[in-house]
A = this chain, B = another copy of it.
Amino acid sequence: MCGIIGVSNHPESARLAYLGLYALQHRGQESAGIVSVDEAGVARTHRGMGLVSDVFSEGVMDSFEGSTAIGHTRYSTAGSSVLANSQPVLVRYRSGTLALGHNGNLTNAAELRRELVDGGSIFQSTMDSEILVHLIARSRHRDPADQIREALGRVEGAYSLVITVNQVMYAVVDPRGFRPLMLGKVRDAVVVASESCALDIVGAGAVCELEPGTLLRIEGGKIDYLDPLPPQAPKRCVFELVYFSRPDSLIFGESVDQYRRALGRRLAREHPALGADCVFSVPDSSNAAALGFSEASGIPLEHALIRNHYVGRTFIHPVQAGRDAKVKIKYNTVRDILAGKKVVVVDDSIVRGTTSRGLVNMIRHAGAQEVHFRVASAPIVGPCYYGIDTPTRDELIAANHSVAEIAAYLGVDSLGYLSLEGMVESSAGDPTRFCDACFSTHYPTPVPSDSAKLRLESEAARAQKV
């Protein structure tokens, strides 16, 4: 997953991009980068591995110039974890300087890459995003907007993009709108960002959310809505709402916090835990759902798990090794609350089940008498091909085991997943607008076969290591 931001027509464009990346840090902690472009079209860039606060120093920030900037924070979805795979991509091509930040994942990347490579293109990274850059550069159109449109006509999958060609910025959302992209203004400057929380931090009022298929041209404070991309049925990623986005963000037309509250209430109705003494969340991503559960069930809310915030976010750590050991580093129990109690744990989702199992162990060790596990989303039965870094089907516990088996594996007294209907109906908006492929395996686009995916990755891995 990734976070992107673009700032146009602001004298401190790179500093605003930096602040925005800070607010989008939860969307990717592997690498971060900023490109700024000045009036003469000179681009300056800095990218590095790690957190935004580690990558950018005061000195680096001082070196940026120009009123246009884009930023990117990355967690690997395609391409391995090396600096060469950090974004924004910055190249020089026919029409000048081109920078691009991409949130999402292309589903026909392997074919396109093969075709480009056959045509003599070279690849310096293993990111699918580099394909987009090649396609834009190969277009015979003269207007960059036409080049971008032609390139997008070739790709399938999920892409929210901020692009600069010289000092002109473009913002794009794919026709299905898998990933969010918000538009805001602060004085004369225009800002686009993955989530509204990044607009908030730079003091930008949210103008609106970009609809699926939008192609914007932004220059000198002016926003041009170019002809939209060919329409498709919208497929907003429900997992953004369930887990990924920040609760203070407004995306896909609704409040993330309110949606999660609704999930919790619905979960309490679908899987009540009668007679439980208390309910608590796995902090922080399921805080809202636990509150909703408590509200609807009347079971008192507690804070029984404490999270050490000096460690990162489990789900998006790249390496599996050592994950189990990390449960204890990240979480601890409040024993007085748990001893002798019948408790309800609310979590937002279960991926592999290893963290949940570790948590249940801790809760039992603290003396809980009964542990009832409630999940505020449906079982994850398929990998995501649109930008969320879920593992392969083999590692998804719900893709390979029944709820009863999972309950046994977790060691809980009962386990209840929210139904898929419950998930989509909890939305304040149109429940049909979602992509729920990881919960339903109804992929809205052709997807690479698992073997193709593996082959691509191993090919990519060959291209560059260290």
Contact = CB atoms under 8 A, between A and B. Distances in A.
Interface in A35-70: 40-46, 51-53, 60, 63-64
A379 interface: no
Given A60-B466, A462-B97, A466-B63, A301 B291 contact: yes
A134 B117 contact: no
A122 B464 contact: no
A355 interface: no
Interface string A102-132: 0000000000000001111111101000000
B44 A463 contact: no
Contact of A133 (B26, B98, B122, B332): B122
B25 A310 contact: yes
Contact of A201 (B41, B197, B329): B329
A374 to B, nearest CB: 18
Given A52-B310, A309-B309, A335 B462 contact: no
A277 interface: no
A395 interface: no
A309 B308 CA distance: 10
A457 interface: no
Interface string A5-36: 00000000000000100110110000000000
A117 B97 contact: no
Looking at chain A, what size class is its interface with the partner chain? 35 or more
Contacts of A255: 334-337
Which of A42, A300, A466 has the largest number of chain B CB atoms within 10 A?
Answer: A466
A309 B284 contact: yes
Contacts of A247: 303, 306, 334
A211 interface: no
A403 B276 CA distance: 42
A91 B124 contact: yes
Contact of A337 (B45, B257, B465): B257
Interface in A251-308: 255, 257-258, 284, 287-288, 291, 295, 300-303, 306, 308
Contacts of A258: 336-337
Which of A60, A93, A287, A306 has the largest number of chain B CB atoms within 10 A?
Answer: A306
A423 interface: no
Interface in A421-460: 459-460
Given A41-B462, A42-B465, A332 B201 contact: yes
Nearest to A52: B310
Interface string A332-357: 11111100000000000000000000
A249 B430 CA distance: 45
A363 interface: no
Count of identical protomers in the assembly? 4
Contacts of A133: 122
A308 B40 contact: no
Contacts of A461: 42
A120 B137 contact: yes
A189 interface: no
A122 B136 CA distance: 9
A302 B290 CA distance: 11
A310 B53 CA distance: 8
Contacts of A291: 301-303
B332 A92 contact: no
Contact of A465 (B43, B134, B250): B43
A255 B90 CA distance: 45
A153 to B, nearest CB: 15
Given A25-B310, A124-B124, A257 B295 contact: no
Interface in A316-374: 328-329, 332-337
A27 to B, nearest CB: 11
B19 A329 contact: yes
A454 to B, nearest CB: 15
Contacts of A335: 248, 250, 255
A139 interface: yes
A42 B462 contact: yes
18 contacts: A42-B462, A43-B463, A43-B464, A45-B466, A53-B310, A53-B311, A92-B123, A92-B460, A120-B139, A122-B134, A197-B306, A197-B332, A201-B329, A246-B306, A247-B334, A257-B336, A257-B337, A301-B301
List of 5 A-B pairs having minimum Cβ-Cβ separation, nearest first: A120-B138, A92-B463, A248-B306, A91-B122, A255-B336
